[in-house]
Structure 1
Amino acid sequence: MKKKNNKKIRIIGGDLKGSILFTNKLINVKPTTNYMRETLFNWIRPKIKKSNCLDCFSGSGALSIEAISQGASSVIALEKNKKNILLTRKNSKRLKISNKIKFITCDTLIWLKKKRNFYFNIVFIDPPFKKKMVEKTIFLLEKNNFLENNSIIYIEMEKNNKEIFIPKTWKLKKKKKKIMFYT
């Protein structure tokens, strides 16, 4: 089922503050709202500078582009839908940050199953709802050692979602409605 999203996504902080992202061709995405992104980036602002980020289900690319705008060194953006990746790539080129975001068209869970020489300071986990992907993503991040010490992990879930399994080494720092922030 194709669904067009004509909502405006505005970058809320950093060098690109106020920039609008093209969204009219995005398929099956639920972009993190401007309000939620503002809350998230207020929480992680002390650690965003020069960080290496992983955007596990990038969709609109708003979290990836926001991270670069606010000082991250690099982002790997994983997204299954080719049209969404193409539109996000177009936004990053227009904003002159395409050299800082590596776009990979793939199934995130399959990509995470393979051990790689990538280590991340900040990870965004915002999968399609109703697909039970949060715990699988967490398991693979831990199993294949993708996280630096003291990494920040942002998780967005449905409001009604039951409690999820979180590794004992992760500490809940903040929680607000459907978002959680761990280190």
Structure 2
Amino acid sequence: MSASGRVRIIGGTLRNSRLDVPDLPGLRPTADRVRETLFNWLQPVVGGARCLDLYAGTGALGIEALSRGAAGVTFVEREPRLASALKANLARLKVAGEVIGDDASRWLRGSARPFDLVLLDPPFSLDAWVETARQLEEGGWIAAHGWIYVEAPRSAVLALPSNWLVHRQGHAGEVSYTLYRRTPADPLS
């Protein structure tokens, strides 16, 4: 593994910890300032939250949630080298997290358990936002009033579930990031 050491945890009990990250093409860790903004938004709700970090990559989003008091994080990452590095980082930092080495879409076809916070930042080349959002919503993966973080290209127009209400949003360069609040779907619609 060629570790870059570029990714660091921004706040919480693991503040300034560095994550060893394999040098892989297409890997695009969420920028420090975006993670800082996101977790400032989430501060009132992340403590005790059950989190799902889909397309985990470096795991920086999920580990940031653990650092800030999340009850637990399930990381789903299909790339074996990233999943292995994520397990090693969790062990080195002495924090628990469930790492699942599987394709997110395939994993979401399994038995659902609702999460309070879902971190949805797939590789931009996959164009997986709409289908993954549908699977999350229809599969029962998000708690009734859960939170969903979505990171996408700034130019993307995403048709996400209508009961995902924009709470906050921002842009950094060519990246758009949005925090949604899920409301239970209207049974009459």
Question: Where does residue 83 of structure 1 map in the other structure?
Answer: 81
User: Does 2:125 correspond to 1:134?
Assistant: no
Question: Where does residue 103 of structure 1 map in the other structure?
Answer: 99
Q: Deviations over 1:28-53 (max 9, x none)?
A: 31100111100110111110000000
User: Does 2:118 correspond to 1:120?
Assistant: no
User: Does 2:152 correspond to 1:157?
Assistant: yes
Give the distance between the partners of 2:132 and 2:105, measured in 1 at CA.
6
Q: Deviations over 1:65-111 (max 9, x none)?
A: 111000001011000101101111111101000x3x10000000111
Q: Is the CA contact (8 Å cut-off) linking 1:26 and 1:87 kept in structure 2?
A: no
**4+ runs deviating over 6 angstroms:** none
Give the distance between the partners of 1:11 and 1:53, measured in 2 at CA.
17
Which stretches in structure 1 are left out of the alignment for 5+ residues?
none
Secondary structure, counterpart of 2:27 in structure 1: coil
Secondary structure, counterpart of 2:153 in structure 1: coil
Give the distance between the partners of 1:55 and 1:21, measured in 2 at CA.
16
Q: Cα distance, 1:25 vs. partner?
A: 4.3
Give the distance between the partners of 1:127 and 1:153, measured in 2 at CA.
13
Give the distance between the partners of 1:133 and 1:169, measured in 2 at CA.
19
> Does 168-177 or 50-59 show the bigger shift?
168-177
Give the distance between the partners of 2:117 and 2:34, measured in 1 at CA.
16
How many residues are paired up? 177
Give the distance between the partners of 1:44 and 1:33, measured in 2 at CA.
16
Structure-to-structure mapping, 1:66-81, within 5 angstroms: 66-81=64-79
Give the distance between the partners of 1:151 and 1:26, measured in 2 at CA.
32
Give the distance between the partners of 1:119 and 1:27, measured in 2 at CA.
32
Alpha-carbon RMSD: 1.6
Q: Cα distance, 1:27 vs. partner?
A: 5.3
What is the one-letter code of the residue matched to 1:160? S
Secondary structure, counterpart of 2:75 in structure 1: strand
Secondary structure, counterpart of 2:118 in structure 1: strand
> Does 76-85 or 25-34 show the bigger shift?
25-34
Give the distance between the partners of 1:6 and 1:159, measured in 2 at CA.
26
Give the distance between the partners of 1:175 and 1:16, measured in 2 at CA.
25
What is the one-letter code of the residue matched to 2:99? F
Which stretches in structure 2 are left out of the alignment for 5+ residues?
182-189
Q: Is the CA contact (8 Å cut-off) linking 1:15 and 1:69 kept in structure 2?
A: yes
Question: Where does residue 140 of structure 2 map in the other structure?
Answer: 145
Give the distance between the partners of 2:154 and 2:160, measured in 1 at CA.
17
What is the one-letter code of the residue matched to 2:169? K
Q: Is the CA contact (8 Å cut-off) linking 1:27 and 1:83 kept in structure 2?
A: no
Question: Where does residue 44 of structure 1 map in the other structure?
Answer: 42
What is the one-letter code of the residue matched to 2:158? I
TM-score between the two structures when normalised by the length of structure 2: 0.89
Q: Cα distance, 1:7 vs. partner?
A: 5.5
Q: Cα distance, 1:9 vs. partner?
A: 0.9
